[in-house]
Amino acid sequence: MQTHRWNALLARIVADDADDLGGLTSAFDPRYAPTGRDLMPEIDAVLMPQAALKRGDAVCIGLRVEGPLADAADRAMRLAAFAAERDVEVVVLAHADHVGLERFGFRVERIVGATPEQRARCEAQIRRLWNIDLVL
């Protein structure tokens, strides 16, 4: 992501959030289902030369988030400022179905699996896909 896109993201971050309608929509919302129900398939690597997932010169970092963030707006501000300053791509590795950074435009990849080993394999697969150099 170029610096101008991070600056645009910074300009849109506000602490206000929509009212929680979870009680009304939880029966229809897959985010309220138990975690670990989905598994990523183990497949052979396939080269996709036409699909550039990030800039060729970019350094990609991952941010591991274990659950929903109470201070998502503050975290989004700091993360976008860091990304703009360091000129890095940011991929959020979410171990929960919803962490709060989605609404700000961050790339959020959900880590799935019922066991720690399955979740570790899923995270490793996503790190290879995005060529993540560092996980915070």
Coil, strand or helix at 7: helix
Instruction: Say how many domains are in the chain.
Output: 1
User: Is pLDDT at 84 greater than 90 in this prediction?
Assistant: no
* Torsion sign (Cα): 62, 66, 69, 70: negative
Domain assignment present for 74: yes
With respect to residue 96, please indicate whether it lies within any of the assigned structural domains.
yes
Which residue range(s) make up the domain with 4?
1-14+55-136
Q: What is the CATH number of the domain that holds 95?
A: 3.40.50
Query: Can you give the pTM of this predicted structure?
Result: 0.67
Q: CA-CA distance, 29 to 64, in Å (whole number)?
A: 23
- The 10s digit of each residue's pLDDT in 4-44 is 778 787 877 877 776 666 677 777 776 666 655 555 555 56
- Pairwise CA distance, residues 122 & 128, whole Å: 10
